[in-house]
Amino acid sequence: MTGTTPGFSQLRLDGVSRRFGSQDALAGLDLTIRTGEFIALLGPSGCGKSTALNCLAGLLPLTAGSIWQDERRVDTLPPERRGFGMVFQNYALFPHMSVRANVAFGLRMRRLPRDEIRRRTAEAIRLVRLEEHAGKLPGQLSGGQQQRVAIARAVVLEPSLVLMDEPLSNLDAKLRLEMRTEIRRLHQSLGLTTVYVTHDQEEALSLADRLVVLRAGRVQQIGSPQTLHTRPANWHVADFMGYRNLWPMRAVSPQGALVAVEADGFRLVGDPMGDVAPGDAVMAGVRPEDVRVGEPGEAATNTMPAEIEVVEYQGRELAAEARTATGIRVHLRTDRRVAPGDAVALSIDPERLLVFPSDSDEAPSAPLADPAGARLAEPGLVG
Amino acid sequence: MSVTTSPHATVATGPPRTPRAHWRHRLAERGVDGQLWLLAPAVLFVVLLFLYPFFYGLGLSFQPTKGGPFSDYARFFGDAYQRGTIWTTLGLALPAALLNVLASVPIAYRMRGRFRGKRLVTILLVVPITLGTVLTAQGLLNFLGPTGWFNRVLMALHLTDEPVRLVHNYWGVFFSLIITGFPFAFLLVLSYLSGIDPTLERAAATLGAGWWQRFRTVTLPLLMPGLATTFCLTFVLAFSVFPSAVLVGNPAGETRVISIAAYQAAYEQYDYPYASAIAMVMGAIELVIISVVLLARTRLYTGSSGGKG
């Protein structure tokens, strides 16, 4: 496909905000998107990621801020004049039009010559491999095929920006993986700048060049998949990026570049993420796959005796839940054949145990949703 | 087969046969179950209040007081004065139904989303349903009559020298049909419109369609089947116009609708077979119009429109 839409070198979101009544759905999103980039907006439901996408598309007016395409301000344009393609969560295919007519719709709206419409439509349908279904109505297609039509309909215009709103969330697990590869393949072959909204961290990590993690309408972290995976900016991001073990603890003393933390007379050494002073309340986080299972009686740094409580079979590995002698629950993954009731020693590499400052000074609405934060206030953990 | 105490083995030794489902299961498979009794009142009503009178009237229409079985039909169609009532009624009912539907579309389109005061506006638009035809006629006479406010305003502004005649003629009946028919049309169109997924229009917008293109290429085609149904219902309502044709129309002349002809045959000439024949003609015309509209409707896309409605 040859580009017809004027490209841009960067798209700049400048303090983009949206309020619903007295609630901030999105508060001051600053983001610069370079052309050709694949950006994922990631966060739990209600974090403002769909709001951000709708603001970009022009389907939702901004409460504050502006959006710039190079030196051209676009947030004041209606959606039909922005020239951004969008793929909706429920596909939003026109049910009364054939696949071909759906894909041709945008080209027809641009009043392009008939021959060009026919050629580009056929090309887009071939790109998503739906040639033999071109004459069907959307209702006659499966979910995955409908999704491919929706993608073809958006990319046929060669938009300067493609917006995708949880496009895979209505598909079953197997199809989701296939479509993920498909989307990646399309992005690599067409090089279209893409903003992709999802609540699935795995999807975001596998697709995006850069991730934007949102929580309660605010940006928590912007970074590459590697950065987010290994160095989450705060424990909320860690929680979202698969650090299933998050323990409220208290910092004791620095140990070189590391820091010792403890709770209930139980002491660990971890890598501080941010400023952690002795006496601070902290959250210590580790991924289940970074918890090692050893024989009982092992004694090394960060080793704790525990008993396996629940075991889930997951193919090559087992996902298990163990409880330490001091009552802390640990999620872990192991290829050892453990069984409930087994006594084990769990150890964690200090480099893999991330120690985050607790955010006790947060807005009062935020910690309500998180019982881990609330546990900090319990007197047993203090001192 | 040796002797065994297991009951399963005993079954297995018997001749193979497919187990027949219990008769209750077989009935349930065809939708016959206890809940069917819920339909009883409706069936009773339809039989007593529709089927019996209809077939009674149909039979009666073939037993004229004199002549062969079809002579009352021949009499109706042979008499230009009587035959003309068909065109008079169509001339009122078709434009009124069409206007009701067409006027409902933009209003319902504007009102399909959520906005402040929507309930109040809906109530105002629907209130005329609660007014009877007689009350509406009374209001029309007061408002549009020769000494009504409308004409007084026109004359005070010197827009006209003598009152514009808007009642006791075609227009009186037409306005009355609009006032009583619009709320029905509006409510139906509104519910059809809210059944169309609003994301479709947003998708069209991101594909470069302006509001008129969005309406014409996405919303209207999905709404058309609903509009056809709405048209049929308001047409039937308007075609059987009777009280307003008498009260605000000119029942001896330009608004002598077909129901007036039937009424006169039945209650002025006491010729029930003839009145029944006219009623049958009336029903047949309605059926023809509805068939044409519904036939055209089958050519439209009538599948899912993605909405929740």
Closest CA–CA distance from residue B233 to any residue of chain A (Å): 24
Please check the confidence at residue B18 and state whether its pLDDT lies above 70: no
Chain A hits for B301, CB-CB cut-off 8 Å, are 95-96, 137
Phi-psi region of B158 (alpha: psi -120 to 50; beta: other; left: phi over 0): left
Residue B203 falls inside a structural domain: yes
* Contact assignment for A80 to B207 by CB distance below 8 Å: yes
The reply to whether A58 touches chain B by the CB within 8 Å rule is yes
**Dist. CA A94–CA A79, nearest whole Å:** 18
Residue B93 falls inside a structural domain: yes
Please check the confidence at residue B299 and state whether its pLDDT lies above 50: yes
Question: Which of A80, A83, A153 lies nearest to residue B210, judging by beta carbons?
Answer: A80
Residue B37 falls inside a structural domain: no
Distances (CA, A) of A95 to A167, A380, B26, B209, B306: 18, 60, 37, 17, 8
The reply to whether A129 touches chain B by the CB within 8 Å rule is no
Chain A hits for B309, CB-CB cut-off 8 Å, are none
* Contact assignment for A92 to B306 by CB distance below 8 Å: yes
Residue B208 falls inside a structural domain: yes
Residue B79 falls inside a structural domain: no
Closest CA–CA distance from residue B200 to any residue of chain A (Å): 5
Closest CA–CA distance from residue A43 to any residue of chain B (Å): 22
Question: Which of A80, A83, A92 lies nearest to residue B209, judging by beta carbons?
Answer: A80
A-B interface: how many C-beta pairs under 8 angstroms? Answer: 78
Residue B35 falls inside a structural domain: no
Residue B73 falls inside a structural domain: no
pLDDT of residue B303: 78
Please check the confidence at residue B205 and state whether its pLDDT lies above 90: yes
A307: β partners: A323, A343
Closest CA–CA distance from residue A44 to any residue of chain B (Å): 22
Provide the 3-class DSSP secondary structure of residue B87: helix
Please check the confidence at residue B308 and state whether its pLDDT lies above 50: no
List pLDDT tens digits, range B113-151. 778 888 898 888 888 888 888 888 889 999 998 888 898
Mean pLDDT estimate for chain B: 88
List pLDDT tens digits, range B50-83. 999 999 999 999 999 888 899 999 999 999 999 9
**CATH number, domain with residue B173:** 1.10.3720.10
Closest CA–CA distance from residue A307 to any residue of chain B (Å): 45
User: Which residue range is the domain that position B269 belongs to?
Assistant: 86-298
Residue B197 falls inside a structural domain: yes
pLDDT of residue A375: 37
Chain A hits for B197, CB-CB cut-off 8 Å, are 90, 92
Question: Domain tally for chain B?
Answer: 1
Question: Which of A81, A95, A109 lies nearest to residue B305, judging by beta carbons?
Answer: A95
Provide the 3-class DSSP secondary structure of residue B128: helix
Buried residues in B84-106 as b, exposed as e (16+ CB within 10 A): ebbebbbebbeebbebbbebbbe
Question: Which of B200, B207, B306 lies nearest to residue A106, judging by beta carbons?
Answer: B207
Please check the confidence at residue B7 and state whether its pLDDT lies above 70: no
Q: Determine which of B200, B206, B299, B304 to mutate to test the interface with A (most A C-beta atoms within 10 Å).
A: B206
List pLDDT tens digits, range B241-281. 898 889 999 998 889 999 999 999 999 999 999 999 999 99
Structural domains of chain A in order of their starting residue, each with its CATH number: 10-230 (3.40.50.300), 244-373 (2.40.50.140)
Chain B hits for A78, CB-CB cut-off 8 Å, are 205
In tens digits, chain A (383 residues) has pLDDT values of: 444 445 678 899 999 999 998 888 999 999 999 999 999 999 988 899 999 999 999 999 999 999 999 889 999 999 999 989 999 999 999 999 999 999 999 999 999 999 999 999 999 999 888 999 999 999 999 988 999 999 999 999 989 899 999 999 888 888 888 889 989 988 988 888 999 999 998 999 999 999 999 998 999 999 999 999 989 999 999 988 888 899 999 999 888 889 999 888 788 999 998 888 888 899 999 999 999 988 877 667 788 889 999 999 988 889 999 998 888 899 999 988 889 998 999 999 999 999 999 875 443 333 333 333 333 333 333 33
